[in-house]
Each structure stands twice: as C-alpha cells, then as structure tokens.
Structure 1
Amino acid sequence: MPNSPVLPTVRRRRLGATLKRLRKAAGLSLDEAAVAMGWSSPKMSKIENAAQSVRPGDVTAMLKMYGVDDREVYSALENLARDAGKKGWWQTYRGVVAPTYADYISLESDASTIRVYAPLLIPGLLQTAAYARETISGITTTRSPEEVAALVEIRQARQSVLTRTDGSPKFWAIVHEAVLHQRFASRPTTMREQLRRLLDAAEMPNVTLQVMPLAATPHPGGAGGFSLVSFPGPMPDVALLENLLGATYVEGVDEVQVFGEAFERIVAAALPMDDSLALIAHLEEGLRT
C-alpha cells in the first residue's frame, strides 16, 4: 500500500521556507545542496515546499552545511521538524475543526507574539463562552448545535495559551469600539460579562489591549481585520485573514511585512491602553443598570 502524501501544514511550510532562505543565503543552489546531502534534487525541493517531511537530524546537517552557527536557530528548526506532524489536543475534535483552523491553533501554540486587529468581533482568545456561543451560532450557516458547542469548547481551550507555564506569548489586540456596543437580545448579560472579561484579561502582564475609537482618523485597518503571528528563532511571521469560507494565510516575507507595518499604524490610530480600558469600564458600568 503506498504511503499517504505528507500534508503541507503551516509548520512544514514555515520550516521549508526557512531552510530555503538559509540555503540561498549560503549561496547554494538547490542542486548543490541536494548533492551535498546525498539526496536527489526533487527530494530537496519537496522538503523546501513542505511536500515531504524531514528528520531533525537532517535539519541539523543542513544547517551545518549552510554555515549556521546560532544555537537558537538549530533548536528552533529541529523542534519544528520534530513537531511538524505532531497532533495537538484539537485533533480530538476532528470533523469539527477545519484543517486551516487546526493550522492556526498550532501557530498559536508555537507563537512568541500574537497581534490582532479585530474590527468586527472580540478576538477569540478573549471571548467568554457565552459570547463565543452567540457569535459562532450567528456566523455559521451549516453547523449543528452539537458542532457549535464543540467550537465553543475549542475556543475556550485555546485561551490556555495565554497562561501556560512554559512561556506564554505576548498578545496585543486592538478592538474596534463598535464591537463593544454589540448587544444580544437572547441573553442581555452576555456583553457585560464580555466587557468584564476584557478588563480582567488586560491585567495579565503579557496582554496589551487597545480600542479603535469611532472617531479615529483613517488607517490601514479600514481594509479589514487580520492576525499576525510571530515566532522565536529565525522563522518568518505569518498573517491570517478570515472570512465565511475559512482562513487564508499570508506567508511571504514581503507580504507579511505589509501587515506588520499596517499594525503599527493601527496602533498609532487607536486609543492608548489606559484610555481604552477606561472606555471599556465605562461601557461595562453602563450595562449594570
């Protein structure tokens, strides 16, 4: 029976792209690198294009061949090769979690920094279960109640990344003020609880929260929301765009840089953190009556 093809997960794409960049920096062609490793050129190409897995030991040999002497680079890429096909806790929800969503959860688990501009909804890592249930039910058009419940569980489980003991990522979220005025007729207390959740999360040392005011000057966020994920070591950032059909990843270095620069301009247009929290607290207090 033939082997199943390797799925080009985001982890494998990150690894392959980084190895390709290091090869080019060393001045080696694909054919030259393949010969030095004792491989065929197609095999080297498949590794760089995430169509074939690579062992951590082979990654070590490739880095030595490319003249890399940074131990942090070795550790990061060896671990990425080791974990490229690793199954996470979200695999228990197979059938509910789309492959692109599973990829994003794996990105969160590897991240050193996560930056989000959210013009339409509270970011998933900051949502209460009630808010998640209302919004997932409203957005999905084909999910059963059981699947919605599973997606809510997944969204809540993802939030543990912000408090993990082995180094939680820095999380920087900019939420549009219009999102804070949303109301839910079926459960009026949902938004008050959600605003309180934002205030509580902002007390975490690794969380930065800003509000984009209704009166903000034009900024790049007018083109839509996005997430920008950064990693330790040499791996390039990844940007994520979401829509009704799922997620789209932006992984090219130059393309992702556009989002990084856009985020800086969005930060400048948003309220400072203290003013943002004061606004959230004011809205939360107004919902108590």
Structure 2
Amino acid sequence: MYAYQVGVLRNRSGMSLVQLGEKTCYEQSFLHRVEKGDRLGHVLVARTLDRVYGTGDLLERLWYLAKHEFHDRELTGGMGPFEAKAANILEYAPGTLPDLLQTAAYTRELLHLAQLGNGQADQQIAALRDRQVRLVGARLRYRALIDEAVLRRGARDAKTWTGQVEHLVDAAQWPGVVVHVVPFDAGPHHVRSPLELAYLHDGGAVACMQGGWRDHLTDDPEDVESLRGTLDALRDLAMTPAASLALLRALLAEQTGDEPPTDGEA
C-alpha cells in the first residue's frame, strides 16, 4: 500500500521522477524503486514526500505499516537478489560455513540433513552456484567472519570436508575476499545467529538475520548501522586475515597429512 500510494501521489501531482528528485534531494533511481516496492527507505523519505504532497502524515503512517510487513516477511528469494546488486557484503557464520563459501558437496550434505530430496537439493545447489559467481568478480568486496566452531565441526564426510577446506584456503586468497576466523579464545560474544549485510551500489543496504525457521530482513538505515556496529565489534575479536589463512592451511594439513606451507611457500 505504501509503494502504491507513493506512485499515485506523484502521478496526481504531475511531477516526473526527475522533478520529484529535485524537490526531495533523493536520487531519481531510488524514488523509482520506492514506487515499485523494491525499496522501503527510511521514515524520513516518507515524511519528506508528505511535505511535498501536502498529505499530513499519511505516507509516514503507511511507511510504518510497510516496515512491519517488510521486517516480518519470509525471504522466499533469499539474499541472492540483494547480493547481485551489492558492492560490499559482510557476514558472520556461527554454525555452518557462509553460503557464498560453500562447495557443492558441503551444501549437499547440509541439504540432505534437512531431508531435501535430490531434485530439490540440485536446484538449491545450482542457485547457490549462481550467487557465488560474483565472488571472483572485480566489483564485489566480500568479508566473512567464521566462528572457529564451524571449522572444528567440519562435515560428516571426510572427503567433503577436505575439499571444503581446500576451497576456503583458495577463496581466502581471492582478490576482494577477506576471511576472518573468530577463535575460541576470543571468549563469549552476543552474536548468536547468522547475520549478513549487503551494501548496494545505489548506496542502500540490507541486513538479513537468519532464524531457525525463517529469515528476516531490514533496509532501515538505523537498523543496518546498528548491526554493522555489532559485526565490527566481533571483527575486533577475530584473527587477522593472515592468521586466519594460516589456521585454514593448518586445518587442511590435518586433513591431508601434509605439512602446511610456510609463508615463503604460500
């Protein structure tokens, strides 16, 4: 209803998106996404539009209703659509490896544990491969915080886990990819569930908080900034990228029986 009303009011005003952008100081592309329902934006956007259209607090009230729906809806499409438009992604993984760093075999094991059939698993693995393609591109910066518990837990199949750790070692050295391990000796912290932040090329940002049964998202700037602060604090407890890579190599050596390479051999 919020997006629909925003579009109706602009059409009634006779203003183009360019003209509305000049009056509100918001980008034309951003306003277009608000009208389409692709972006919710901040409540200040609704207040500004109310002022421009002379609608009292109509849009502000509709915005709060839309925010409630936006926060509580299930992410049937996952984070894929937002990752495709992201310039930067930051995430924390406390229980399993981040989706974007998983091998097909590791993903398949997780899906089988969730009792998905081979057909459904194949579809989800293919979709995940499509999401992962951007990691090797030049336009995305990706930073992952991985709890040491994930690395010590491993996978049920030894071959699957060896392949997964090999992939982590490789991925941690890709341009634009940074991996931090949050070690056991960092002590307790208050981030208990997976969290992913995607910063979009248009300046917006979306946060995805994963739950046991469903995921929740928000694009409220204050919420995203608060969650970013949480992950920044966690990163302060994490190992450096170099130390994290050394740990991954040592873990791989444990799996293969080989000696981990020295810095000169890396």
Same fold (TM over 0.5): yes
Taking a change above 3 Å as real, the CA distance of residues 105 and 266 of structure 1, as seen in their structure-2 partners, is same
Paired position in structure 2 for 1:147: 120
Match of 1:60 among 14, 18, 43: 18
Query: 1:229: how far off?
Result: 1.1
The runs of at least 4 aligned residues of structure 1 exceeding 3 Å deviation read 73-85
Distance 1:251 1:78 in 2: 16
Verify the 8 A CA contact 2:94 2:150 in the aligned structure 1: yes
Aligned pairs, how many?
221
SS of residue paired to 2:178 = strand
Match of 1:225 among 175, 194, 199: 194
**Residue 185 of structure 2 corresponds to residue 215 of structure 1:** yes
Verify the 8 A CA contact 2:74 2:216 in the aligned structure 1: no
Q: 2:194 is matched by which residue type in structure 1?
A: G
Match of 2:241 among 269, 273, 285: 273
Alignment of 1:17-166 (within 5 A): 34=9, 37-39=10-12, 58-68=16-26, 73-74=27-28, 84=38, 100-138=75-113, 140-141=114-115, 143-164=116-137
Query: 1:60: how far off?
Result: 2.8
Query: 1:155: how far off?
Result: 1.2
Alignment deviations for residues 10-41 of structure 1 (CA, whole Å, 9 cap, x no partner)? xxx9xx6xxx9xxxxxxxxx8xx93xx3528x
Match of 2:162 among 169, 184, 192: 192
Distance 2:103 2:171 in 1: 11
Verify the 8 A CA contact 2:97 2:146 in the aligned structure 1: yes
Verify the 8 A CA contact 1:59 1:81 in the aligned structure 2: no
- 5+ residue gaps, structure 2, are 40-72, 258-266
Taking a change above 3 Å as real, the CA distance of residues 58 and 219 of structure 1, as seen in their structure-2 partners, is farther
Alignment of 1:251-262 (within 5 A): 251-262=219-230
Q: 2:228 is matched by which residue type in structure 1?
A: G
Q: 1:150 is matched by which residue type in structure 2?
A: Q
Q: 1:220 is matched by which residue type in structure 2?
A: H
- 5+ residue gaps, structure 1, are 1-7, 21-29, 41-56, 86-97
Give the TM-score normalised by structure 1: 0.67
SS of residue paired to 1:100 = coil
Verify the 8 A CA contact 2:210 2:216 in the aligned structure 1: yes
SS of residue paired to 1:287 = helix
Taking a change above 3 Å as real, the CA distance of residues 101 and 158 of structure 1, as seen in their structure-2 partners, is farther
Distance 2:78 2:38 in 1: 11
**Residue 155 of structure 2 corresponds to residue 180 of structure 1:** no
Alignment deviations for residues 27-78 of structure 1 (CA, whole Å, 9 cap, x no partner)? xxx8xx93xx3528xxxxxxxxxxxxxxxx943332122245xxxx445665
Distance 1:38 1:81 in 2: 11
- Taking only the aligned residue pairs, the percentage that are identical comes to 23
Alignment deviations for residues 89-128 of structure 1 (CA, whole Å, 9 cap, x no partner)? xxxxxxxxx9724252110001111100001111111110
Distance 2:83 2:208 in 1: 11
Paired position in structure 1 for 2:264: none
Verify the 8 A CA contact 1:76 1:234 in the aligned structure 2: no
